[in-house]
């Protein structure tokens, strides 16, 4: 961890964007009191429905009082979007957990709004590695945790089509539908074709026992840890591979539902390029940090590249320092 000069303790020069739509599946204390008490001079902006985060930051950067620090209260998708803007405007990131899982900030030891503000007040930062994910000729997206194609994006796509049922009931229905409709997709890598259930591209080295590497394991990194689940097992194994909790994965291994080791190819590289070709009638999609990206039917090219020390993030000192 690095120690930067301590910023203004009252929050002058900090823009905090709050995404109230994040974390609707969990009960979480309202952070407004913490912001008002600990950072009373910070600008706090509540993201309205349909409002674009990039537009909010762009307008703030045009003012005479352009922010020195970009803060975000939200889930992994909101944090990854703000991290991209922090790179764009060369600003440090104040990331606060306000989503359901908060994989990124948890990996940095930020488990609460107060922990993030403590790090900010101390000027305690870490240089975080990220990945750029580029679909076809689009602009790169900043990725903090993982990019995935295959079974997981299709499951998310099924769930998003059932939002009227609520997150949990919609998730159960989507899982049943995904299990019924699941088919392998085709990827082409380095001129070699493969039929796979899924590909997970994690930012940094990850737990070797997992297939679905949803949460990053290290901050400073310059590599991608890739898991390719080849389509040599059943549909049930394809869905079971999406278990990212250690206990759940252990139970699935005991009952022999987890993918066999020989069916999962593991790579650690700096760059990856894939041609992704779903079966007819299946969506052309990928997911990064929980955000679903829709592509034109028929498939797409996906390129991922690791970038070390890409974002400065306020985070606490490690416990063993």
Strand partners of residue 70: 15, 93
Options 3.90.1150.10, 3.40.50.10330, 3.40.50.300, 3.30.1360.120; which CATH number does 2-122 get?
Answer: 3.40.50.10330
Per-residue pLDDT averaged across 55-84, rounded? 96
Share of the chain above pLDDT 90, in %: 63
- In the structure encoding, which two tokens stand for residue 266, read together? 């593991």
CA distances (Å), origin 295, targets 150, 178, 185, 321: 13, 19, 15, 45
Q: How far apart are CA 144 and CA 288, in angstroms?
A: 8
β-pairing verdict for 224-230 and 192-203: antiparallel
How many C-beta atoms lie closer than 10 Å to residue 8's C-beta?
15
3-state secondary structure 66-127: CCCEEEEEECHHHHHHHHHHHHHHCCCEEEEECCCCCHHHHHCCCCCHHHHHHHHHHCEEEE
Give just the sign of the alpha carbon dihedral 109, 114, 116, 117: negative
> How would CATH label the architecture of 141-308?
Sandwich (2.60)
Share of the chain above pLDDT 70, in %: 79
Is the model's pLDDT at 248 over the cut of 70?
no
- Cβ-contact 1, 321 below 8 angstroms: yes
Out of 45-49, 140-144, 251-255, the most confident range is 140-144
Q: Which of 92, 90, 72 minimizes the C-alpha distance to 81?
A: 72
Sole residue written with tokens 């600008």: 43
Rg (CA), the chain: 20
- Cβ-contact 249, 216 below 8 angstroms: no
DSSP 262: G
Give phi and psi for 167, each to the nearest 5.
-65, -45
DSSP 163: G
pTM of the model: 0.88
Per-residue pLDDT averaged across 20-49, rounded? 83
Question: What is the location of CATH 3.40.50.10330 in the chain?
Answer: 2-122
Is the model's pLDDT at 81 over the cut of 90?
yes
Q: How far apart are CA 21 and CA 75, in angstroms?
A: 9
């Amino acid at each position: 961890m690095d120690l930067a000069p301590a910023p203004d303790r009252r929050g002058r020069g900090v823009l905090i964007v709050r995404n109230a739509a994040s974390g609707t599946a969990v009960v979480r204390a309202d952070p407004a009191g913490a912001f008002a008490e600990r950072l009373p001079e910070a600008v706090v902006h509540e993201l309205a429905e349909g409002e674009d985060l990039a537009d909010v930051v762009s307008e703030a950067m045009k003012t005479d009082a352009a922010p020195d620090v970009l803060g975000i209260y939200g889930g992994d998708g909101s944090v990854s979007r703000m991290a991209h803007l922090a790179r764009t405007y060369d600003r440090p990131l104040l990331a606060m957990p306000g989503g359901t899982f908060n994989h990124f900030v948890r990996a940095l030891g930020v488990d609460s709004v107060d922990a993030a503000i403590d790090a900010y007040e101390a000027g305690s930062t870490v240089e975080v590695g990220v990945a750029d994910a580029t679909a076809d000729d689009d602009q790169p997206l900043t990725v903090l945790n993982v990019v995935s194609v295959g079974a997981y994006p299709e499951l998310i796509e099924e769930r998003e089509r059932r939002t009227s049922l609520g997150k949990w009931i919609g998730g159960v229905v989507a899982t049943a539908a995904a299990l019924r409709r699941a088919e392998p997709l085709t990827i082409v890598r380095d001129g070699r074709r493969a039929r796979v259930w899924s590909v997970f591209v994690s930012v940094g080295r990850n737990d070797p026992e997992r297939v679905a590497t949803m949460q990053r394991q290290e901050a400073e990194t310059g590599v991608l840890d890739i898991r390719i689940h080849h389509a040599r097992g059943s549909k049930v194994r394809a869905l079971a591979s999406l278990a990212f909790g250690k206990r759940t994965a252990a139970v699935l291994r005991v009952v022999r539902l987890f993918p066999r080791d020989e069916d999962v190819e593991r790579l650690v590289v700096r760059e990856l390029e894939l041609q992704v070709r779903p079966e007819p009638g299946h969506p052309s999609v990928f997911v990064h940090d929980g955000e679903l990206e829709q592509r034109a039917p028929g498939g797409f090219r996906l390129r991922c590249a690791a970038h070390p020390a890409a974002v400065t993030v306020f985070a606490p000192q490690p416990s063993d320092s």
